Structure 1
Amino acid sequence: MTVAAGLSRRSFLVASLAGGAVLTLDASIALAAPQAEMAADVLNAFVRINADNTVTIGAKNPEIGQGVKVMLPMLIAEEMDLAWDQVKIEQTDADEKRFGPQVAGGSTATPRNWLPMRQVGAAARQMLVAAAAKKWGVDPAGLSTANGAVLHAASGRSVTYASLAKDAASQPAPDLAKVALKDPARFSIIGKSKPGVDVPAIVRGQPLFGIDTRLTGMLHAAVVKCPAHGGTVASFDDAAVKAIPGVVAVLAVNSRLVPEGRQDTLLIVADSWWKASQAREKLAVKWDDAAVSGFSTAGYEAAAAKLIAAPAQVSLFKAGNADTAIAGAAKVVKADYDYPFLAHATLEPQNCTALFQDGKLEIWAPSQAPAGGRADTAKFCGLSPEDLTIHLTRIGGGFGRRLMNDYMVIAGQAAKALPGKPVKVLFDRTDDLRHDFYRPAGWHRFTAGLDETGALVALKDHFVTFGKDGKAIRAADLAPTEFPGPVLPNVDFGTSYLETNLATGWLRAPTSNAMAFVFQSFLDEVAEAAGLDLPELMRRTLGEPREVPGGRVPFHTGRARGVIDAVCRTAGWKGRKKGRGFGFYFSHLGYFAEVVDLSIADGVVRIDKVWVAGDVGSQIINPVNALHQVQGATIEGIGQALVNQKIEQENGAVTAGNFGDYSPIRIDAVPREIAVEWVKTDFAPTGLGEPALPPVIPAIANAIYSITGKRHRRLPLEML
């Protein structure tokens, strides 16, 4: 599948001459030549050819550790026929009108950009070849390229890209849909491991992240929020705070989580963040929180127990007649599963720096979705989106949290209230954990029917989740096409809704991180009742290789079977075995199957090894980074399965205050080995940030059952 990137031919290759020394194919170019490279030629919105025949390539998407800052330039460099040691990489600013979608989320960078980035490289190469052909008076068909040079084999001549760049601008802009792309058999960069461009600076502790932003005369803002989510400011007394030397202002702003005209965030702005943070103790605030202070974890549990025992409020998907099929089934399997709210717990807490002057707002933001932040910040600051300049900083962990941009909206309002002074807004760890956009909790009641042969013939799921007005809130939904629903003759998926005051959002492998656990764990129960192991039940249920329509993209049973067979082969799976568990999931266009080997000593689970097989299409663009993405996702899934990660509420407020209350996975809990195998198929490449995470959670749960004989149907998998 290819997702359109929204980049026009003109946005790549509009030819114009800018000031003689700098040649640009986009008059509003972002990659303007820096002072050290004033002899450079900007070839298009992504490419600057330097006088020494190195080429600076712009990386347009936010970098959150997923390696996109290297991967996207690799696509351009490949089609330009560059040697990798000629390539320099710069982070672009946020500007979707020039660069198309700039999002780090949903594992979309590869499917969105696989063709467009290659096309821009090929278009640049075509124009350089045309310039050389004109210079030599030869047919372009007789020319070739290699290592940043155009070659004419017949005459033995060659010329560097740097020598041709100015002449290339006079060539007609190619139609991007028609430029010739390389045969993958000729790839010299794609498919070869390239290290992260920022790694040396990170190791040396050089400033790259949003939290590192330092500007002359910068002020610092600490946040004060209502403990109960959704509470707003009724009144506040800031006299004691303003009496502290160095405190500049106390501001009331809207983080966009409450209606316009209300304020839910107070900012103490001072000449140091520590001073601003300490001053919070002296701020007297009255909150309007009566409508949101009644929510609690215990309340959700009690309400969910009542709802799940009643008929579902809303039907999500029905096929055949599940009730009739279950009533006539040879065997019936029933089980309840649930999972908690989760926080993102990014290592770098939320932050943003903004400067307002001359009616314009300049922002330095570690945002995963800067376009959304631009629109929201402009709205709450009373500005036009065009009045904002957004510099993308490297992000110290996102996992979906930085899609929400509340930190940008807050910083923009602070800067506008204090024109001419840069203001950095910084959450501390407690702020970050207690005012997140959480992965929603959920409860499932499953019923399955098996026929006399052990075939799964019916499945029901009553899903209790969070919603309002008959619809799920953000990230709390169940897809009607959830496997195995679309391949079964009798299915009934229904849902019922609870209310919550918590803001919810997408967490790495959103919804999939929960659904894989409940569905694959329950299917392991079904497989056991059928006298099978889970891989064999999956094979029989998948049936013949085919595309199953429905949902945003079709589900391919053959690709699912491919990764199941591959991981069973590499792990030496021979059926049920103590200490071993299996899980599969299709998530964010990727098919992944995983086998976990674990042991238990003194009630502590130790993951010994994880085998992973993944199908993300025909190409692994940057193998070393792909390996790291899969290993990192697997480790994060292990943390969600086994570590004390659950967000709880009392009186509308989140109780976790630091990593002692909500722990990230520790090094000693990481398996000795995570072995990864790629199953390459004839499909366009897709992303890797998320799809490897979900299967490891049910694989762990199923492995624990294999040792203890006890099903753990609630996350985290606490050993009792």
Structure 2
Amino acid sequence: MTQTVALSRRSFLVASMAGGAVLTLDASVVLAAASATAPADVLNAFVRINADNTVTIGAKNPEIGQGVKVMLPMLIAEEMDLAWEQVRIEQTDADEKLYGPQVAGGSSATPRNWIPMRQVGAAAREMLVMAAAKKWGVDPATLSTASGTVVQTSSGKTATFASLAKDAAAQTPPDLAKVTLKDPAAFKIIGTSKPGVDVPKIVKGEPLFGIDTRVPGMVHGAVVKCPAHGGTVASFDDAGVKAIPGVLGVVAVNSGFVPEGKADTLVIVADSWWKASKAREKLAVKWDDTAVTSFSTAKYEIDAAKLIAGTPQTSVFKAGDPDAALAKAAKVVTADYEYPFLAHASLEPQNCTGLFKDGKLELWAPSQAPAGGRAETAKFCGLTPDDLTIHLTRIGGGFGRRLLNDYMVIAGQVAKAMPGKPVKVLFDRTDDFRHDFYRPAGWHRLTAGLGADGALVALKDHFATFGADGKPVRAAQMSPGEYPAPVVPNVDLGVSYMATNLATGWLRAPSSNAMAFVFQSFLDEVAEAAGLDLPELMRRTLGEPREIPGERAKFHTGRARGVIDAVCKTAGWKGREKGRGFGFYFSHLGYFAEVVDISMADGALKVDKVWVAGDIGAHVINPLNAMNQAHGCVIEGLGQAMVGQKIVQEAGAITADNFGDFALMRIDAAPREIAVEFVKTDFPPTGLGEPALPPVIPALANAIYSLTGKRHRRLPLEVV
């Protein structure tokens, strides 16, 4: 299960601030009665009550377009009993000691913060009520709140939160575990649609992103990296570069990918990025890369074919006796599936700005995981984590790429090499494509056995991917609970590993984006062999509603069936029809089932409509943003499946230069309509940045089969 943030009364701190009183609840919430002269950009922990009775709420997590910058403040504002019109939102700096976990990944923000942020708001409200009760000499139970005001209905007395903030700071802090949270029936903010706070600024082109960072006196860095991943600098001659007016120097650094003591990145620093970039042509570098130039896409294909034809090196999950069950099966279905390496292709290339001064390092970083970046950057810069200040900028696309902080590590070392000068390090598009942390490729040989009654009685998968010493590389894992393994009596999920020099990483809905294609497409084949459609095979295989323990999360068969039934109903599913495909997946605590409708015109595939049903628990905190997230997942998933996305490697290096080599989904290829329905169930709410993506890929593949009669078992789906 996802980690939650525990707040307690024990660590409440009382402090003071110029212009007002400050109360820090477990280093997690601050009430400040700011004077009219207090700086507007000062943010203390989560809450600042302003003199005009507006309330500034700090959004602690990185914002990458998933809407968390609005969602988290909604939770606090709801329990404080504010009117949304009173709320002002500011991005906090990165400081996990003050704010708790700050990460954008794994669709974890909602399950981690659903209770803690509400407790923060409820505690703030309670202390304001206590302050009013003491001021008026009445029982706090006789008071209520509304729109940032404490009210005593019997007397007609009212007091704004701003007028009470100083007195509230003097109250005994409540036990956060015991604060009273609102009955959901009383929610006024949670469950209502709120637009993104940054949208007007983005539309106007205002500087919000890391790439927009401007610091007085700033200089610029362009990177030079070994084409073959894992190669290091043997030697370099920078005489030609230093002769260029405006070039300040060349700094050799370790990006964190190669052993300590080695350099794999050279950064040319100049008074403009264009000048630094052009100066790369004059830099003579010899690379130590002989150990990494033998890797290629063609070699992976050959090695994978040999691996899956043999015996798995290890088993990640085994139940029953699948070989015996297959020997007795009425029907046996076999198929091979595969998918390629993928890049993240974020529209904002990797960047970070650093300033080293007086032994301290200040960073402006578009990071999804700033705590990890803090630790790693401190290590490579010879500093302590407390020596770093990290300002979180808005992120122009992350999808998991910015969970890895090489850009922070590089910028920190360059800044330290040029003390007193702010340095912005910026990858260009080719740098970004060729030095990503890629979604690993994979190959699967699957076998399923059906009983005489059409029941799925056995399943085997031999999965070939990348790893060393019997362990997968980052993001190449297959979960022991990979569906349908938990609900099949006889299962063997086996894995074999081969080497790669590529850096790998998590891509939106990691593992799930590939496994859903493999298993749901294969199950569609199994269903056809059983004389069923995929939804019906799923229902029969899921069985009675129950929770099944898992490695990371419990799987609830009833919730899975709920979304299957919902999407089939809304889409008018009638079984196998031409041009329609179905897919289901449980990913990041969310249950999603999807139907894709397609057509062909002049040999071109068109996605006409996608139907989505999702179960993310009892509450959809921000319906507008939830709809946007579901739409974005569908479009990105279709892009992975159908527009030729794959990363090709030759001689240890990636060949992609730009979007011409790795196309993103275009408007004319997007579905004409995406219909989304949320199935509410009596479970805590979960995240939505990822779980709607995986099912659309097999749903599309299954739709293509239904329309053309050709089964596509390899991504991207090359439909001709």
TM-score normalised by the chain length of structure 1: 0.98
CA distance in 1, matches of 2:288, 2:299: 21
Residues 236-273 of structure 1: CA distance to partner in whole angstroms, max 9, x if unpaired? 00000000000001010000000000000000000000
How far off is 1:52 after superposition?
0.4
Secondary structure at the counterpart of residue 127 of structure 1: helix
Deviates further, 29-38 or 701-710: 29-38
CA distance in 2, matches of 1:489, 1:299: 36
1:287 corresponding residue in structure 2: 287
CA distance in 1, matches of 2:18, 2:489: 68
Contact 2:106 2:509 in 1 (8 A): yes
How far off is 1:605 after superposition?
1.4
Correspondence 1:327-406 to 2 at 5 A: 327-406=327-406
Matched, 1:713 2:710: no
CA distance in 1, matches of 2:583, 2:573: 12
Distance 1:477 1:37, change over 3 A: farther
How far off is 1:425 after superposition?
0.2
How far off is 1:59 after superposition?
0.2
Matched, 1:250 2:241: no
1:17 corresponding residue in structure 2: 16
Matched, 1:326 2:333: no
2:63 corresponding residue in structure 1: 63
Residues 618-652 of structure 1: CA distance to partner in whole angstroms, max 9, x if unpaired? 00000000000000010000000101110010000
How far off is 1:552 after superposition?
1.0
Correspondence 1:39-58 to 2 at 5 A: 45-58=45-58
Residues 566-613 of structure 1: CA distance to partner in whole angstroms, max 9, x if unpaired? 000000001000000000000000000000000123332110000000
Letter matched to residue 64 of structure 2: I
Distance 1:540 1:172, change over 3 A: same
How far off is 1:19 after superposition?
3.9
Correspondence 1:536-555 to 2 at 5 A: 536-555=536-555
Which runs of structure 1 show a deviation greater than 6 angstroms over 4 or more consecutive aligned residues? Answer: 26-36, 39-44
How far off is 1:44 after superposition?
6.6
CA distance in 2, matches of 1:491, 1:580: 29
Contact 2:28 2:99 in 1 (8 A): no
Correspondence 1:528-539 to 2 at 5 A: 528-539=528-539
Secondary structure at the counterpart of residue 200 of structure 2: helix
| Gap runs ≥5 in structure 1 | none
How far off is 1:21 after superposition?
3.1
1:600 corresponding residue in structure 2: 600
CA distance in 2, matches of 1:253, 1:30: 39
Contact 1:22 1:39 in 2 (8 A): no
How far off is 1:229 after superposition?
0.2
Residues 172-202 of structure 1: CA distance to partner in whole angstroms, max 9, x if unpaired? 1111110000000000000000010000000
2:643 corresponding residue in structure 1: 643
1:627 corresponding residue in structure 2: 627
Correspondence 1:176-215 to 2 at 5 A: 176-215=176-215
How far off is 1:477 after superposition?
0.9
Contact 1:15 1:173 in 2 (8 A): no
CA distance in 1, matches of 2:348, 2:18: 41
Secondary structure at the counterpart of residue 613 of structure 2: strand
Secondary structure at the counterpart of residue 154 of structure 2: coil
Correspondence 1:196-275 to 2 at 5 A: 196-275=196-275
Tell me the number of residue pairs that the alignment of Structure 1 and Structure 2 aligns: 719
Matched, 1:689 2:689: yes
Distance 1:35 1:18, change over 3 A: closer
CA distance in 2, matches of 1:363, 1:29: 23
Contact 1:39 1:51 in 2 (8 A): no
How far off is 1:673 after superposition?
0.7
1:160 corresponding residue in structure 2: 160
1:482 corresponding residue in structure 2: 482
1:502 corresponding residue in structure 2: 502
Secondary structure at the counterpart of residue 518 of structure 2: helix
Correspondence 1:420-431 to 2 at 5 A: 420-431=420-431
Distance 1:368 1:6, change over 3 A: farther
Letter matched to residue 210 of structure 1: G
2:142 corresponding residue in structure 1: 142
How far off is 1:156 after superposition?
1.1
Contact 1:96 1:102 in 2 (8 A): yes
Contact 1:43 1:49 in 2 (8 A): no
How far off is 1:9 after superposition?
3.8
Contact 1:39 1:50 in 2 (8 A): no
Secondary structure at the counterpart of residue 171 of structure 1: coil
CA distance in 2, matches of 1:692, 1:27: 35
1:116 corresponding residue in structure 2: 116
Distance 1:48 1:96, change over 3 A: same
| Gap runs ≥5 in structure 2 | none
CA distance in 2, matches of 1:41, 1:580: 53
Letter matched to residue 628 of structure 1: N
TM-score normalised by the chain length of structure 2: 0.98
Distance 1:28 1:186, change over 3 A: closer
Secondary structure at the counterpart of residue 704 of structure 2: helix
CA distance in 2, matches of 1:533, 1:118: 44
Q: Aligned-pair RMSD on alpha carbons?
A: 1.6
Contact 1:211 1:351 in 2 (8 A): yes
Distance 1:533 1:37, change over 3 A: farther
Contact 2:443 2:463 in 1 (8 A): yes
Contact 1:594 1:613 in 2 (8 A): yes
CA distance in 1, matches of 2:459, 2:316: 13
How far off is 1:2 after superposition?
6.7
Contact 1:304 1:464 in 2 (8 A): yes
CA distance in 2, matches of 1:429, 1:37: 44
Secondary structure at the counterpart of residue 222 of structure 2: strand
